[in-house]
A and B are shown apart, each in its own frame.
Chain A
Amino acid sequence: MKIVGLRLAATAIFALAFALVGQAADRSEGGNSTHGFQGKLEYCKTCHGLSGEGYRGYYPMPRLAGQQPKYIENQLRAFIERRRVNPVMFNVAHVLSPATLAALSEHFRNLNPEPIGGGPKEHVALGKTIYEQGLPESNVPACSACHGPEARGHEEIPRLAGQLFPYTLKALSYWGKERGLGGSRDDTSAIMVPTTHNLNHEQMSAIAAYLSYMK
């Protein structure tokens, strides 16, 4: 009887050990847990919208739906390296492993919700002209030359279509203060400083308004 009892105890201990190992595995990459893909996906969507459409809080949280994965990965690295200053995203970027990040960016790339819109409609026509033709007399190139005629972006060049109006306006207004800091040569965003510095506020607002409705 004693031996049987011991065996039972040993079996119980083994079973418990396996259960614990199983639980630990569940918490690793890909699991439906705090640190796995599903947990982090819900974390992103809490602020960036359930379909990645973006959200207008006190600060605008950008649309991620349809965004280029390379751009997302590059920007999250920029937060960590402080090439791009944002205290909130600095913390967020630190809890995403490379594998989780790759899975998240792939997920957002495939989402396609309606744009939130919201830019002043009366400026949309001017925005379209600047986006497609630039302002040759002010040395502002056409945005479409790099971001594409439908503003879908390419690799590290971001998609702009459907982006939140206040977000694009803020980005255009603060190039060189918020991004491309530290003089790193890897940071392609530095190119936007000379590209945008001849735009006045009305022109920036027009571009942002046009993009906010673009599907």
Chain B
Amino acid sequence: MKPASSERINRESSGMKQITSKIAIVAIFATCAATKLSAEESLPIRNCTWCHGSSAQGFANAPRIAGQTHKYIESSLLSFKSHVRDNPYSKQFMWGAAANLTKEMAHGFAVYFSELPPSAANDGNGTLTDEGRSIYVEGIPQSNVVSCIVCHGPNAEGFEGIPRLGGMGYDYLKRRLEQWNEGYHAAAEPMPRIAKRLSASEIEALASYLSFVK
């Protein structure tokens, strides 16, 4: 394990400094003219970063949201609120977190986090990346597993409402792929029908490969 706690404190104190200086800048502007508030001032960003990490790169069970496509973040937040997304951690953490979100707030959070630069988790099994890349690019035609690249893009960058997968944490990617086969988040077609064709070792290979994609 990484020295997570000290790293997190460092990240958060630098985040706090940024927030403080931004508030100072805004205060100066506000005296000159009525300015539109930035996301940090108008939204409780800290409520998200407390779990997802101060630079939103993910932490423990909370996935990275930095650099995620804004349409995907927005639709995810609304699907937590409507309980369409019903995975165990979603129920435990996100149903409550999203319960009082307005559509405007969901949009604001989505835009804010989509603009933060993502960095790769690099925490998969490095010996499985070739197999994972092959499944990602070509699928497994013999067992009717479709290629991932056609929807998620050549660098797993996502597209509109389709999520970026490149550099997400290994555990998160593996868990999501497994949980479709267990009946969770069944509304997210076509993923349930795709994931059910993947074996346990194929899921490990895919999640490993993706965790290293920049």
Contact A58 B144 (CB under 8 A): no
With both beta carbons as reference points, the residue of chain B lying nearest to A90 in the complex is identified as B138
Contact residues in B for A34 (Cβ distance below 8 Å): 142-144
Contact A58 B194 (CB under 8 A): no
Contact A46 B149 (CB under 8 A): no
Q: Tell me the residues in window 112-156 of chain B with beta carbons closer than 8 Å to chain A beta carbons.
A: 137-139, 141-144, 146-147, 149-154
Q: Tell me the residues in window 26-77 of chain A with beta carbons closer than 8 Å to chain B beta carbons.
A: 34, 39-40, 42-43, 46-47, 50, 55-59, 61
Contact B138 A91 (CB under 8 A): yes
Interface size on A, residues (CB 8 A): 20
Contact residues in A for B138 (Cβ distance below 8 Å): 87-88, 91
A191 contacts partner chain B, Cβ-Cβ < 8 Å: no
Total residue contacts A-B, CB cutoff 8 A: 57
Q: Tell me the residues in window 184-200 of chain B with beta carbons closer than 8 Å to chain A beta carbons.
A: 189-190, 193-194
Contact residues in A for B159 (Cβ distance below 8 Å): 57-58
B97 contacts partner chain A, Cβ-Cβ < 8 Å: no
Contact residues in A for B146 (Cβ distance below 8 Å): 43, 46-47
Contact residues in A for B153 (Cβ distance below 8 Å): 58
A76 CB to nearest B CB, Å: 12
A38 CB to nearest B CB, Å: 10
Contact residues in B for A46 (Cβ distance below 8 Å): 144, 146, 190, 193-194
Given A57-B162, A61-B150, answer yes or no on A87-B142 (Cβ-Cβ < 8 Å). no
B142: which of A42, A58, A88, A95 is its contact (CB, 8 Å)? A95
Q: How far is the CA of A175 from the CA of B53 in the complex (A)?
A: 48
Contact A94 B141 (CB under 8 A): yes
| Residues of chain B at the chain A interface (Cβ within 8 Å) | 137-139, 141-144, 146-147, 149-154, 157-160, 162, 189-190, 193-194
Given A57-B150, A59-B149, 10 other A-B contacts at CB below 8 A?
A43-B146, A46-B194, A47-B151, A47-B190, A55-B190, A58-B157, A58-B162, A87-B137, A91-B139, A92-B141
| Residues of chain A at the chain B interface (Cβ within 8 Å) | 34, 39-40, 42-43, 46-47, 50, 55-59, 61, 87-88, 91-92, 94-95
